[in-house]
Amino acid sequence: MNSLDQFPKSRADVVSMLRDSGITPTHQRIKIGEVLFSCKQHLSAEQVLVAVNQEDEEVSKATVYNTLGVFAQHGLISEVIVDPSKVFYDSNLSKHHHLYYSDTGELEDLTDESVEISKLPELPNDLQIEDVDVIIRVHRN
3-class DSSP state of 80:
strand
Rounded to whole angstroms, the Cα distance separating 56 from 40 reads: 24
Does residue 9 contact residue 33 with C-beta atoms inside 8 Å? yes
Domain hosting 132: range is 94-138
Does residue 96 contact residue 104 with C-beta atoms inside 8 Å? no
pLDDT tens digit sequence for 49-67: 999 999 777 899 999 999 9
Indicate left, alpha or beta for 22 from its phi (over 0: left) and psi (-120 to 50: alpha): left
pLDDT tens digit sequence for 76-121: 999 999 988 899 999 999 999 999 999 999 999 999 999 999 999 9
Q: Average pLDDT of the chain?
A: 92
**pLDDT value, residue 55:** 75
CATH code assigned at 23:
1.10.10.10
pLDDT bucket at 4, cuts 50 / 70 / 90: low
> In the listed set 89, 104, 126, which residue is the last one of a domain according to the structure?
89
Q: Which residues contact 25 (CB under 8 A, 6 or more apart)?
A: 14, 15, 18, 19
Is the pLDDT assigned to residue 69 strictly greater than 90? Answer: yes
Domain co-membership, 22 together with 78: yes
Structurally, the chain folds into a number of domains equal to: 2
Domain co-membership, 22 together with 84: yes
Domain co-membership, 98 together with 112: yes
Domain co-membership, 26 together with 45: yes
pTM: 0.87
Domain co-membership, 61 together with 75: yes
Positions of E strands within 51-134: 78-83, 86-90, 96-101, 106-111
